[in-house]
Amino acid sequence: MTDKTKEFWEDRYSEREYAYGEQPNVFLQNELKKLEPASIFLPAEGEGRNAVFASKQGWDVTAFDLSTMAKIKALRLAQKNEVDINFKVSSVLNFQSDRKFDVIALIYAHFDADIRIKSHQHLINLLKPGGVLIFEAFSKKQLSYNSGGPKDLKMLFSIEEMKSEFSGLTIQYLEELGINQKEGEYHQGKSSVIRMVAKRI
């Protein structure tokens, strides 16, 4: 993580509107409905749309983001929706927790290429045995579209990389697919994503 990365996100989240909207990610929303509410951890959560949704469904929410502005807007959104979320400002590798979580949701958490694998391993260690990882992010094919995401191929995902980087988990669902994004200003239009659900045995 660089100062430039932090500066980028502070600038984006300083805008008045919510960059990716106030509604939750559709895939996460659908997957959480299949589970009994327990503890959920949302790394790189941004402005809180998924954390607030989970809290409204009865989940005990812990989240972090690199950006101070993200936290301010996340807590504002939580207050608007009359829910509580535990939201920290931290980089991924500096985040520490004494507890482990029933669910971890990685939703468009595109970490810098030089720390990505280490970051994923660090986060998996915070998942309880039997816990579930819910993942959605842009695939490498996303470079063909202008609907959002990093422009660095190494920060995007392939099916093969997913199997390798999350080899400690039992994959229950893994798919690369085209979708039509409608998430705020910065995720709009035809996109190529990878979705995964995996369990820590």
Residues linked to residue 87 through DSSP beta bridges, in sequence order:
63
> What's the CA angle centered on 124, arms 123 and 126, to 5 degrees?
70
- Domain encompassing residue 136: 3-199
pLDDT at position 2: 67
- Count CB-CB contacts under 10 A for residue 36: 8
The amino acid that residue 40 corresponds to is I
User: Contact at 8 Å (CB) between 186 and 145?
Assistant: no
Look at the chain and report how many structural domains it folds into: 1
CATH of the domain at 23: 3.40.50.150
Which residues, in sequence order, are CB contacts of 94 under 8 Å at separation 6+?
none
Per-residue pLDDT of the chain (201 residues; tens, 9 = 90+): 568 999 999 999 999 999 999 999 999 999 999 999 999 999 999 999 999 999 999 999 999 999 999 999 999 999 999 999 999 999 999 999 999 999 999 999 999 999 999 999 999 999 999 999 999 999 999 999 999 999 999 999 999 999 999 999 999 999 999 999 999 999 999 999 999 999 999
With residues binned 3-state (H G I as helix, E B as strand, rest as coil), the percentages for the chain, rounded to 5, are 30, 30, 40
